[in-house]
């Protein structure tokens, strides 16, 4: 079902951006937001892992804004070692940060939600990034043999949010490393198919 996942997040962004004001995140699912994968004789309906976070003008991680529950809890079926390939750009950015409590206060969700955040930019330009990935999302380029559980690599969305702007729309910008071994984005969408329609739009507004 295509429905907005509206996150009005409870975050302490005032410490980052100055005076507080409401911030809204709206994630609109796309055509391939869910898909079915068979585990033996059992079909399972899968939904993507999503992270939305803020970085400063120097590319330093500031704060997690939104994170799907399984990624937040690092709780994965069939593995004890985590899934670094699920959201590699977000994980590497957060792990490089001196802000070791990067998830605390983020909106963590396993489904549709409505929550509220507060914050203001106070003259700063902030890079907002989002990463989206759906397991077993295979295509002709990324099949089970060469991509394992992951299928197509994660898709990166980005937008600069300037202090004078009330609304931004994140755009597809690149993809994460297939095995999750690095946090370097490949700014090329070549080879992605259904991954491009997992999410229809990601919008932030005040």
Q: Is the entire prediction scored with pTM above 0.85?
A: no
Confidence at residue 125, expressed as pLDDT on a 0 to 100 scale: 87
- Mean model confidence pLDDT for the chain: 78
Task: For residue 18, give Cα distances in angstroms to 53, 122, 159, 180, 186.
Answer: 18, 6, 20, 35, 33
What counts of helices (H) and strands (E) characterise the chain?
A: 4, 12
Evaluate whether 52 touches 66 at the Cβ level (below 8 Å).
Answer: yes
What's the CA gap between 87 and 38, in Å, rounded? 23
Residues of the chain with pLDDT under 70: 1-22, 37-40, 42, 74-82, 98-123
Confidence at residue 32, expressed as pLDDT on a 0 to 100 scale: 92
């Amino acid at each position: 079902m295509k429905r907005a996942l509206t996150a009005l997040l409870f975050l302490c962004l005032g410490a980052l951006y100055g005076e507080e004001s409401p911030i809204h995140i709206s994630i609109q699912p796309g055509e391939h937001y869910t898909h079915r994968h068979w585990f033996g004789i059992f079909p399972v309906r899968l939904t993507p892992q999503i992270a939305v976070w803020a970085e400063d003008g120097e590319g330093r991680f500031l704060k997690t804004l939104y994170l799907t529950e399984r990624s937040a809890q690092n709780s994965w079926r069939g593995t004890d070692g985590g899934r670094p390939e699920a959201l590699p750009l977000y994980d590497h950015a957060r792990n490089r940060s001196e802000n070791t409590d990067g998830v605390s206060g983020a909106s963590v969700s396993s489904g549709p939600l409505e929550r509220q955040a507060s914050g203001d930019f106070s003259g700063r330009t902030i890079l907002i990034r989002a990463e989206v990935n759906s397991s077993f999302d295979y295509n002709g380029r990324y099949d089970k043999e060469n991509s394992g559980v992951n299928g197509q690599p994660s898709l990166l969305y980005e937008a600069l949010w300037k202090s004078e702007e009330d609304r931004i729309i994140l755009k597809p910008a690149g993809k994460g490393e297939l095995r999750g071994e690095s946090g370097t984005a490949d700014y090329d969408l070549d080879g992605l198919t259904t991954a491009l329609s997992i999410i229809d739009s990601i919008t932030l507004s005040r």
